Structure 1
Amino acid sequence: MAIWTKELDLRALNAGSANTAISHLGIEFTEYGDDYVCARIHVDERTCQPYGILHGGVSVVLAETLGSLAAACSIPEGYRCVGLNVSANHVRAGRKGSWITATARPTHLGRTTHVWGIELRDEDGKLTCSCSLTMAILPPEQASRVRLDAESLAK
């Protein structure tokens, strides 16, 4: 059974990311299933550190982008979500010229918090980074104070 409360449309998600950090870094939403969503990023001049490997901060941006989108698309109508904590363990370098694919899956879908596990893998399927993202779920009376319009991310 799907966890999504909003329709996921990859074309709309990618188009809706225009002129943001997401598009600037070249993050592309690529796939989703009943309980996961995927995106990828190319390791290039936009995303590398001086050593020619994927910048750790960019890995975290990819993870937080994907986990935030997943949370926004799995909460009840009228609710909003905001990030509380993100942590990352960098276990392997993403090499220049390669693609890194991230997959977000829920670890906990509670009434007031979500925890999302996001794994980043290289083209050989090897883990490059493991992240955890905790999101606060705000009810409608608090959500009105949050300017983020999650519905603009998904139809």
Structure 2
Amino acid sequence: MNEHKEKILSVCNEICKGTLMETLDITYIDVGENFLLAKMPVTPKVHQPDGVLHGGASVALAESVGSAASYIFLDRQNFSVRGIEIAANHVRSIKEGFVYAKASILHKGRTTQLWEIRITDEEDRLISNCKLTTIALPRN
């Protein structure tokens, strides 16, 4: 991995300390020209009562990765990023292992951005498909 990628991933992982992302053990593991990839372990900490990954944990993972992607692909010196809408379709359950969330840009406007976040298991099977709309707010 080149130095630029390593620096971006380091920053993403560093800013997660003391946040929900740290609580869920989300780790950013790859970045490209128009995507960001993270992983999260599926343990009882993120299960619903019947022992499978909670849909809310999936949505928290998706919003975390989509918002972080907006953060790194926008002018973060002059703008703050906020999620304004998220939708999720959960298509497969998982009890253990890791899930991977890949945020890819669908629309990169000056004010709003639309991200698709595909959450897959270790065998690349789709667990959830999410869409996140973010807004870039000027910093004062």
The one-letter amino acid paired with 1:92 is R
Gap runs ≥5 in structure 1: 1-6, 145-155
**Aligned residue in 2 for 1:150:** none
**Aligned residue in 1 for 2:3:** none
SS in 1 for 2:87: strand
**Aligned residue in 1 for 2:40:** 41
The one-letter amino acid paired with 2:57 is V
Contact 1:38–1:102 (Cα < 8 Å) also in 2: yes
**C-alpha distance after superposition, 1:46-80 (max 9, x if no partner):** 11111111000000000000000111111224022
Q: What percentage of aligned pairs have identical amino acids?
A: 35
Gap runs ≥5 in structure 2: 1-5
Aligned residues: 134
Shift of 1:12: 3.0
Please give the residue correspondences for 1:70-85 in structure 2 after superposition, counting only pairs within 5 Å: 70-76=69-75, 77-85=77-85
**C-alpha distance after superposition, 1:83-127 (max 9, x if no partner):** 1100000000022x2100000000000111100000000111100
**Aligned residue in 1 for 2:50:** 51
**Aligned residue in 2 for 1:99:** 98
Aligned counterparts of 1:16 and 1:135: Cα–Cα separation in 2:
18
The one-letter amino acid paired with 2:100 is T
The yes-or-no answer on 1:87 pairing with 2:77 is no
Kindly indicate whether structure 1 or structure 2 has the higher relative contact order, using CA contacts under 8 Å at least 6 residues apart: 1
The one-letter amino acid paired with 2:116 is G
